[in-house]
Structure 1
Amino acid sequence: MTCKQLTVPFFYTSGHIQQHVFKVYQELCSSRTDKGSNHHLLLVSNTKGPSEDNTVEKRREIAIRCLIVYLGEKEEDLFKQYSDEEELNADLAMQIMKIAIIGHGPATIIVEGSKILERIDVARSCALMMGVIYALNLTYPKQLKFTFEVFQKLCLELDGQKASSKVMNLKFGIFQSRLDRPFVSEFHKNLIPAFLVLLHCVLLNFKALFLSLLS
């Protein structure tokens, strides 16, 4: 982890997650009437047209917030909003691991009452927090275990072979969404199972050849 680039793979993979999460989150919110879900549904809608929310950084932030709710966790366990710097400083000692946001400005990573990194956008702070956690040998917050598992195993592709069923379902959903895109033809979709069958046949032939050499 000490030599791994954080932001590039994090943003590249989260870009694939973004559209899938938006789609699933909108379906999830369609059956809910609570204020939080409607608020994020409005934010997702705003990113489709000209608005102050239609920026790369804002879309990434909204995708992460939607992801947290999609995973059944609470975004306030990761993010905390402050009106000004004075309010943040007064509350600093109470925070164990948080991403603080002052107004609509940049974010600050807080660990055990100390400001670690300041003046970065919200999505970037999530990627850099992973580096802080590894560098300081910290454990993930229990109330955000699925969120940080996605950050680690999907966004940063670290130990991705071993994942919870919830994260594996998300990974499969993203893969299926990419297959369902218009530019992926039926021909290309059919190539995948055909390739797997071919690979299986090659492995069987290789095994038979190997056994014949041993005998």
Structure 2
Amino acid sequence: MEFNRIMGKNLKQEFYENLDRHSSRFMDLFKTKRGAPAQPTEVRTLVLRGLPIMLGDDDSSFFKTCLVSDHRNTILDVPVGILLEDTDLQPSSSLHLTSSIGIILEGQVVMDKVQDLPQAICLLFGLIYALDLNYPKSLANTFDFIQRVLMSMGQNTLKPRVQSLANQLFA
């Protein structure tokens, strides 16, 4: 609600619309490395997990995967991130990979049982904006891309890596 008040935008609707609008082009860019899943949530998840790779960001300190029983020890050092909990750490055939998704701020799970990764990223983006937090340094390009390219918010000047991906996306 705070995001809507400040920006006058429906965060969830605009985030998903823009993610969906660019997903087919992202899939074309990703096809050289991976097969294309068919479900919309899986496509969104693939795009969001692929963005840090395309932008040269390191998502290892942002996405924390753990067993449901031991997540307290996993997230203490995470200022901003996504917790991907599972009942076991066996590989899954789905891109969802988890039984539970949570949002981490300052080493604490502030939201849990989020429906899926796209919703978690959308909510986290809104929280970061509403609470005036800095983007995670290891994913600065990824969040900058979401803000400036997907959401069309902020300055028009893009960092070189973000500009390069935007050029590929709109080509």
TM over 0.5: yes
Structure 2 residue matching 1:90: 3-state secondary structure: helix
Change (3 A) 1:173 1:16: farther
Change (3 A) 1:25 1:160: farther
| Count of matched residue pairs | 154
Question: Where in structure 1 are there 5+ consecutive unaligned residues?
Answer: 30-40, 48-53, 177-215
Q: Does 1:124 align with 2:107?
A: no
Which is strand-richer, 1 or 2? 2
Which shows bigger deviation, 99-108 or 160-169? 160-169
Q: 2:16 aligns with which of 11, 14, 17?
A: 11
Which is helix-richer, 1 or 2? 1
Q: TM-score, normalised by structure 1?
A: 0.65
In structure 2, the partner of 1:69 is 53
In structure 1, the partner of 2:81 is 98
Give the partner amino acid of 2:170. Answer: F
* Cα displacement (A) at 1:160: 5.0
What is the CA–CA distance in structure 2 between the aligned matches of 1:87 and 1:150, rounded to whole Å? 32
Give the partner amino acid of 2:102. Answer: T
What is the CA–CA distance in structure 2 between the aligned matches of 1:149 and 1:57, rounded to whole Å? 22
Question: Where in structure 2 are there 5+ consecutive unaligned residues?
Answer: 87-97
What is the CA–CA distance in structure 2 between the aligned matches of 1:160 and 1:170, rounded to whole Å? 17
What is the CA–CA distance in structure 2 between the aligned matches of 1:78 and 1:96, rounded to whole Å? 9
What is the CA–CA distance in structure 1 between the aligned matches of 2:73 and 2:99, rounded to whole Å? 18
What is the CA–CA distance in structure 2 between the aligned matches of 1:55 and 1:171, rounded to whole Å? 24
Q: TM-score, normalised by structure 2?
A: 0.80
Q: Tell me which stretches of 4 or more aligned residues in structure 1 moved more than 4 Å.
A: none
Deviations 1:74-125 (A, max 9, x none): 23232111122x2112323222111001122231000012222221211111
- RMSD (CA atoms): 1.9
Give the partner amino acid of 1:6. Answer: L
Change (3 A) 1:145 1:92: closer
Q: 2:106 aligns with which of 112, 127, 135?
A: 112
Identity over aligned residues, as a percent? 21
Larger Rg: 1
* Cα displacement (A) at 1:5: 1.8
Q: Is contact 1:21-1:70 (8 Å) kept?
A: no
